[in-house]
Structure 1
Amino acid sequence: MKKIFDLLARENMCVLATDAGGKPHCSLMAYMLDRQGNALIMVTGKNSAKHKNMQANPNVCVMVDTRASFDKDQDENIQALTVTGTYGPQDPRDLMELTRAFLILHPRLKPLLDQEDTEFFRVHINSILLLDGPVESTFIELD
């Protein structure tokens, strides 16, 4: 379990898959892990396709991987983490704190965070599948 949450805390980019009326829709997203470790926090425009998709169907899938930091000269495996989860709006009372924390991790997203129609949201983690190289896998279902 520690290996999984270390990976989630270390990486900060993912692919978010939503349902676009029965067809998959993928988006490259910046994220941060919430303090409790049971949700990923992301930000998007309220008029984006992904936001509309999540409003219609809150079930999502997220993939986080280590290919960007992979060193082929090291004796290590690329790790890929698939998270199934549920979309939920973020409590607006946390907006200032979230904005500060998000900008520390993702300063290049300031223009997005400055827009009026931007919204933070949470992906509550339901299950996690860690692939550690081509063969080894670990599956965890959370309550």
Structure 2
Amino acid sequence: MFNSVNNCPNTSARAGELQTKHGNVETPVFCPVGSQATVKTLTAEEVKNLGFNMILCNNYHLYLRPGIETVEELGGLHRFMNWDGAILTDSGGYQVFSLSPLIELSDEGVVFRSHLDGSRHFITPESATLFQEKLGADIIMVLDE
């Protein structure tokens, strides 16, 4: 849920607070990027000590490695990362288009090749959302083009 705290009458900009299962996040907010479930060179404790309470992870990277099922079996993304703050997951749509040399786009979804091993994968907007739910993300981004 989002609560607007302050609105600018001239620009329509607003500041607010996102309420998640893993704590409240004041907006606007800068999220450290942990695409592959880690913020490079920092532990979760160090990220928290720097004042951050939300990390951005990437569905595409986690889907390919270590895999959604693996993260789910290990207790979800929060436990996997040893992170008790909020997690926003990006759908991975940008990576599908930028990292995959050959894609097939249809109204149903997208077929792409893994940049890791060349294997073929089919993802729909619905499956991308389901994967992010299985990861246990607090905020989920929809797959679009």
TM-score normalised to the size of structure 2?
0.27
Which structure has the larger Rg over C-alpha atoms?
2
Whose relative contact order is higher, 1 or 2, with alpha carbons under 8 Å and at least 6 apart? Answer: 1
Higher share in strand:
1
TM-score normalised to the size of structure 1?
0.28
